[in-house]
């Protein structure tokens, strides 16, 4: 009896297990395929949105870092009286000098180009009118130098790169980054010499070629950027591209300034001239592709006059060119189209000159006669020419006269007659 009851329990247990195991069987191949298709459709529908979200985030992160760098550079100028030299782009982030202004940053223009930095005067202007195009220096943003110097504009070393892990390229006018500039004697803000143009090669700064500095993020394709390991990413070699070798996609091949084979983005990464492009971003493959972010700083029209650092009562004009009053084409340092009046006196250290012949100048000292030779005996001065007296004979040759006895000559009339008089 006991055995029969036990057998019945065992049989029921087996039946229960059989039913349970039937409900726990896996999916069939068809069911799995349907599930995978559904998941694929969901992912495919979400990918464009995810890609757009990622691209938008990268764009705004890069813009924020560029603006932070822009603010930091301007504050650095306010604190130091100059801009920092570019950092060496070939240094890895693990290098102790990564992101630092080179120790051999130029003190004066005659000094050698700083370590790891490119110096060039191709495509720049002659801002100081010395007859030679002014040099610029190209490297990467000195992020650590800026971070350590900031007091008001917050800046972190991480903001020296873009969202694509490329270091921000930094080009600066050499004369505005010299260590000889100080807060007491700051760099002249009229000395900017960098060219910035749009995608149609039109100057976008007035006056042209006058940007103080340019900072560049090389965008999604990172063409020409230096990564955090100090390696240049992508192809920025004109000859390589002309030979049809691979370039970072999308390629783009706009000619700039009518030069065949020069792609639009190459102007921002060739590091051999002072020309940069700030154009509208276009992510369409082909000739119009341009994904660089560009920010620059230039002079303002309100800074032509400055207070002298030697005497606060003195003002001076910072313009290195000519100044016109009543004319927009001044031919001299100060060209006045009209009368020039002075309440007391006008002094000219270099002399007073005839504008028709600048070599004919009157020496102010000659007016008093101290710098002139005396007229020979029997001659008198009738004028000044060539900074010397013009002398003529007092009497024409053959002229003679006599006074009556007991009288002597006292004067000559306007007709040349002798006036005689007796002594008092």
Residue 142 binned pLDDT confidence (cut-offs 50, 70, 90): very high
Examine the pLDDT at 232 and tell me if it is beyond 60. yes
* Residue 382 is assigned to a structural domain of this protein: no
Q: Please tell me whether residues 254 and 122 are part of one structural domain.
A: yes
Please determine, for residue 331, whether its predicted confidence score (pLDDT) is greater than 60: yes
Q: Is residue 22 part of a domain?
A: no
> What 3-state class would DSSP assign to 71?
helix
Task: Please answer whether residues 65 and 153 qualify as being in contact, where contact means their C-beta atoms are separated by less than 8 angstroms.
Answer: no
Q: What is the pLDDT of residue 243?
A: 42
Q: What is the mean pLDDT of the chain?
A: 79
Residue 358, domain member (yes or no): no
Helix (H, G, I), strand (E, B) or coil at 383: strand
Report pLDDT for 251: 35
256 and 109 in a common domain: yes
Quick one: which of 99, 102, 100, 97 has its CA closest to 113? 102
Phi, psi of 382 (to 5 degrees): -115, -5
Interatomic CA distance for residues 199 and 48, integer angstroms: 28
Residue length, the chain? 424
DSSP letters, 90-108, are TS-TTSTTTTS--TT--SS
Domain carrying residue 253 = 50-298
Lookup: tokens for 155: 């800046």
* Inside any domain, residue 117: yes
**Boundary of a domain, candidates 279, 298, 317:** 298
My answer on whether 264 and 412 are in the same domain is: no
What does each C-alpha distance from 100 to 92, 93, 145 come to in angstroms?
A: 12, 11, 5
Nearest to 127 by CA among 308, 274, 329: 274
Q: Are 171 and 66 members of one domain?
A: yes
Position 18 pLDDT exceeds 80:
no
Question: What is the domain count for the chain?
Answer: 2
Q: Give per-residue pLDDT as tens, 372-409.
A: 667 787 777 777 777 777 887 776 655 667 788 888 88
79-103 confidence digits (pLDDT tens):
999 999 999 999 999 999 999 999 9
Q: String of b and e for 368-377 (b: at least 16 CB within 10 Å)?
A: eeeebeebee
150 and 278 both lie in a single domain: yes
In a shared domain, residues 294 and 404: no
pLDDT of residue 255: 39
Residue at a domain's end among 298, 333, 362:
298
Residue 20's pLDDT is 52
Query: Is residue 327 domain-resident?
Result: no
Lowest mean pLDDT among 49-63, 150-164, 304-318: 304-318
pLDDT score for 26: 61
Residue with tokens 């620059």: 296
Burial class (CB in 10 A: 0-12, 13-18, 19+), 128: middle
Indicate whether 157 and 284 sit together in one domain: yes
Tell which of 273, 298, 323 closes a domain: 298
The verdict on 171 and 293 lying in the same domain is yes
Burial track 204-239 (b if 16+ CB lie within 10 A, e otherwise): ebeeebbbbbbbbbbbbbbbbbbbeebebbbbbbee
Name the residue with higher pLDDT: 328 or 57: 57
Residue 202 domain-assigned (yes or no): yes
pLDDT above 90 for 211: yes
Whole-model pTM: value is: 0.63
């Amino acid at each position: 009896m006991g055995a029969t009851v036990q057998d019945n329990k065992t049989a029921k247990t087996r039946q229960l297990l059989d039913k349970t195991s039937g409900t726990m069987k896996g999916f069939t191949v068809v069911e799995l395929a349907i599930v995978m298709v559904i998941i694929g459709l969901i992912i495919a529908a979400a990918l464009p949105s995810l890609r757009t979200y990622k691209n938008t985030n990268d764009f705004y992160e890069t813009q924020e870092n560029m603006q932070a760098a822009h603010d930091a550079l301007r504050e650095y100028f306010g604190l130091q009286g100059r801009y920092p030299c570019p950092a060496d782009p070939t240094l890895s982030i693990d290098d102790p000098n990564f992101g630092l202004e080179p120790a051999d940053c130029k003190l004066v223009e005659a000094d050698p180009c700083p370590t790891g930095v490119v110096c060039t005067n191709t495509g720049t202007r002659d801002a100081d009118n010395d007859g030679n195009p002014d040099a610029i220096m190209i490297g990467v943003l000195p992020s650590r130098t800026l971070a350590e110097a900031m007091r008001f504009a917050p800046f972190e070393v991480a903001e020296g790169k873009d969202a694509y892990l490329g270091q921000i390229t930094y080009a600066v006018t050499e004369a505005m980054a010299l260590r000889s500039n100080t807060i007491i004697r700051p760099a002249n803000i009229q000395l900017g010499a960098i060219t910035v143009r749009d995608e149609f090669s039109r100057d976008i700064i007035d006056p042209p070629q006058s940007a103080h500095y340019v900072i560049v993020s090389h965008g999604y394709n990172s063409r020409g950027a230096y990564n955090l390991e100090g390696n240049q990413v992508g192809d920025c070699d004109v000859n390589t591209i002309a030979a049809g070798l691979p370039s970072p996609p999308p390629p783009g091949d706009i000619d700039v300034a009518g030069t065949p084979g020069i792609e639009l983005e190459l102007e921002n990464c060739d590091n051999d001239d002072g020309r940069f492009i700030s154009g509208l971003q276009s992510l369409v493959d082909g000739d119009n592709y341009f994904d660089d972010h560009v920010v620059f700083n230039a002079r303002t029209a309100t800074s032509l006059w400055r207070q002298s650092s030697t005497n606060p009562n003195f003002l001076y004009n910072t313009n290195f060119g000519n100044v016109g009053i009543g004319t927009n084409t001044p031919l001299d340092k100060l060209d006045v189209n009209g009368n020039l009046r002075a309440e007391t006196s006008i002094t000219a250290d270099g002399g007073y000159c005839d504008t028709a012949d600048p070599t004919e100048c009157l020496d102010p000292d000659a007016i008093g006669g101290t710098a002139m030779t005396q007229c020979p005996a029997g001659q008198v001065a009738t004028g000044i020419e060539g900074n010397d007296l013009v002398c003529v004979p007092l009497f024409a040759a053959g002229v003679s006269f006599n006074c009556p006895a007991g009288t002597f000559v006292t004067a000559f009339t306007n007709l040349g007659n002798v006036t005689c008089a007796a002594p008092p």
